[in-house]
Structure 1
Amino acid sequence: MNRTINATWIVSLITLNLMLLTNVQAQQSKIEMPERGLCAHRGCMDTHPENTLPSLQEAARLGAQMIEFDIQLTKDSVMVLMHDDNVERTTTGKGNVSDLTYNYLRSLDAGVKKSEKFKGTLIPTFEEALAVLPQNVWLNCHLKGDQAVGKAAAAMLKKSGRLHQAFLTCSEKAGKAAKTQVPEVMICNGENSYRKNSATYVEATIKMKAEFIQLLRPQAGEDRSVLIKSLKDNHVKINFFYAEKAQELADLYKQGVNFILVNNVGALLPETEKLGIKTLKPVYKN
């Protein structure tokens, strides 16, 4: 009798979980993602400490269509947000992230070097960053590392229900590992070994069926029109790294770029409004 009750309870629990998961996926499928706009590079890094929760939250509040941040693993395999290999430039600590424990990193101040008003800001984990960001903004998750961080980041995106909006900008090794872990995870080809050769970069991105590419600034006189058409024909969204001035934006969008990485998103969002690109109204989880 007890075995029958337990079996029935387990089946009911599994059914409930599947229903909840289906409902979440259905809701996410209805979320309209932006087609063009600005990508806040490391959040609002001009006014806030880069790769911190205040920086990411400010970018979301302002209405950026995409937010980029950097992820790497600590010595004890915790995913944290940090661009540089070492922590000296942006925090009060010393040493390389890969040689430091999560507990040590959490003891550092990641805001005071930007401004006294950000004193006490912590280095966030990837999970913490995802928890405070909207559901309808693209999340450009730039991985520092290869297979280990690729697998871990893909698993975290699935766990947090962010697969509809987040993609991993990463090396080929990291991308393959991420796909092995979570086949449906979106990838932006960030393979540095050939990124400066636009033709090779585009060909490899299309071949691997990546959802995004992140083009670098072109060489003098370089014509990318054929390459961009090829990307469009293969449904690859185009990020561009990077623009500094408002005058650059219109021409980049005209060329076919979808999202432009900028360090001063707050100053440039009004300019994209003039170009007919609506500033995003962030939508959060209920």
Structure 2
Amino acid sequence: MTRRIVLTSLVVALAACSPKTNPATKSGGTINYFDYKPNQPARISAHRGGGDLKGYPENCIESFQYLAQQIGTPARPVIIECDIDLTKDSVLVMMHDATLDRTTTGTGKLIEKTYADIQQYRLEDNMGNITPYKIPTLEEVLRWGKNKVTFTLDVKRNVSFAKVVEMIHKTGTDAIAAVITYNAQDAARVHQLDPNLMISVTIRNRAEYDRLRELGVPDNRMIAFVGVKEPDKELYQFLHEKGIACILGTLGNLDKQAAARGDQVYRQFVQNGADIMSTDRPLEMAKALY
């Protein structure tokens, strides 16, 4: 009996001293949203979170909500690809352009405006229609997105990766947010800031993959953006063998190809190896795939 008590106490003590499991590694966490799974249905990433739909501007919570309702499911949430920039007083807001002119009723550079300044402006859709919606903050977007969508976050030049990672931690959205990077050095920087975050990395060939690994980015934290034209099937196969999901950017020419030849083209992209497709035509793609 005494021996059993001692052993039980030892187990409890060791458990108390051991590091806690990061939520991102649990079932339903980051890895399960973004890693590669054979025969998993393809996922749709809405480029700039929409915008080509009348009345629904890009980088807008109301547009995200609309897409989540139209094409998302709890098991297959839509991926919102969205853009983060900075106001004069260092508030992280959702904006693709450096200037306000194209997507809002305002004018001038965002970095020259305070957050209070931009509250007077309203978002416009990509056809120029003014909507009642305001420019949202990153914090508002992340808090809204819990249990609704997943995100890939495009960090603009004025914004530090550290600020974005800090906001992901503050909002507890590690499990639904991945950070987009465009070179291996930035990917390594994000990995150093938080080794548990998923990172969208550019891998169009083996050399780009090797560079990421040389800088310490592990396979299980990569989502591979393979470009805006279809790669060789061998690249898909190589990345899948590493457990890495692949994003094909259909925005631009491939979306135009689908519109001209028929949306069944999207199914062919999936058969060739795409796991996620980043598109300006999310509703049409969903109709073809699901």
TM-score, scaled to structure 1: 0.74
What whole-Å deviation, never above 9, does each CA across 1:219-265 have from its counterpart, x for those lacking one?
Answer: xxx75222222211222211111142213212211122111011121
The letter of the residue matching 2:68 is A
Does the alignment pair 1:55 with 2:66?
A: no
Deviation at residue 114 of structure 1 after TM alignment: 4.6
What whole-Å deviation, never above 9, does each CA across 1:12-67 have from its counterpart, x for those lacking one?
Answer: xxxxxxxxxx8994997346637522111122322111111111111111124311
Q: Tell me how far apart the structure 2 counterparts of residues 223 and 263 of structure 1 sit (CA, whole Å).
A: 20
Q: Tell me how far apart the structure 1 counterparts of residues 273 and 125 of structure 2 sit (CA, whole Å).
A: 39
In the other structure, the counterpart of 2:106 is 93
Aligned partner (choices 192, 215, 220) of residue 226 of structure 2: 215
In the other structure, the counterpart of 2:198 is 186
Q: Tell me how far apart the structure 2 counterparts of residues 268 and 113 of structure 1 sit (CA, whole Å).
A: 19
Seen in structure 2, the aligned counterparts of structure 1 residues 79 and 254 have a Cα distance that, compared at 3 Å, is same
Does the alignment pair 1:156 with 2:167?
A: yes
Q: Is the 8 A contact 1:41 1:67 kept in 2?
A: yes
Q: Is the 8 A contact 2:85 2:94 kept in 1?
A: yes
Q: Tell me how far apart the structure 1 counterparts of residues 213 and 132 of structure 2 sit (CA, whole Å).
A: 44
TM alignment of 1:62-101, pairs within 5 A: 62-64=70-72, 65-101=78-114
Where structure 2 has 5 or more consecutive residues not aligned to the other structure, the ranges are: 1-19, 35-39, 73-77
Could you say what the CA RMSD is over the residues aligned between the two structures, in angstroms? 3.0
SS of 2:264's partner is: helix
Deviation at residue 174 of structure 1 after TM alignment: 4.2
Seen in structure 2, the aligned counterparts of structure 1 residues 154 and 223 have a Cα distance that, compared at 3 Å, is closer
The letter of the residue matching 1:253 is V
Deviation at residue 151 of structure 1 after TM alignment: 0.7
Q: Is the 8 A contact 1:44 1:266 kept in 2?
A: no
Q: Tell me how far apart the structure 2 counterparts of residues 27 and 232 of structure 1 sit (CA, whole Å).
A: 19
In the other structure, the counterpart of 2:144 is 132
TM alignment of 1:1-286, pairs within 5 A: 25=23, 29-30=27-28, 33=33, 35=40, 36-47=42-53, 48-64=56-72, 65-111=78-124, 114=127, 119-135=131-147, 137-145=149-157, 148-172=159-183, 173-190=185-202, 198-207=205-214, 208-209=217-218, 210-218=221-229, 224-242=232-250, 243-244=254-255, 245=258, 246-273=263-290
SS of 1:80's partner is: strand
- Give the number of equivalent residue pairs: 243
What whole-Å deviation, never above 9, does each CA across 1:145-192 have from its counterpart, x for those lacking one?
Answer: 27x5311111111222211121000244543443333231211125xx
In the other structure, the counterpart of 1:19 is none
Where structure 1 has 5 or more consecutive residues not aligned to the other structure, the ranges are: 1-21, 274-286
SS of 2:49's partner is: coil
Seen in structure 2, the aligned counterparts of structure 1 residues 226 and 73 have a Cα distance that, compared at 3 Å, is same
Q: Tell me how far apart the structure 1 counterparts of residues 190 and 206 of structure 2 sit (CA, whole Å).
A: 25
Q: Tell me how far apart the structure 2 counterparts of residues 107 and 159 of structure 1 sit (CA, whole Å).
A: 27
SS of 1:29's partner is: coil
Identity rate, percent: 23
Q: Is the 8 A contact 1:53 1:124 kept in 2?
A: yes
Q: Tell me how far apart the structure 2 counterparts of residues 175 and 184 of structure 1 sit (CA, whole Å).
A: 13
SS of 1:72's partner is: strand
Q: Tell me how far apart the structure 2 counterparts of residues 248 and 255 of structure 1 sit (CA, whole Å).
A: 11
Q: Tell me how far apart the structure 2 counterparts of residues 223 and 139 of structure 1 sit (CA, whole Å).
A: 24
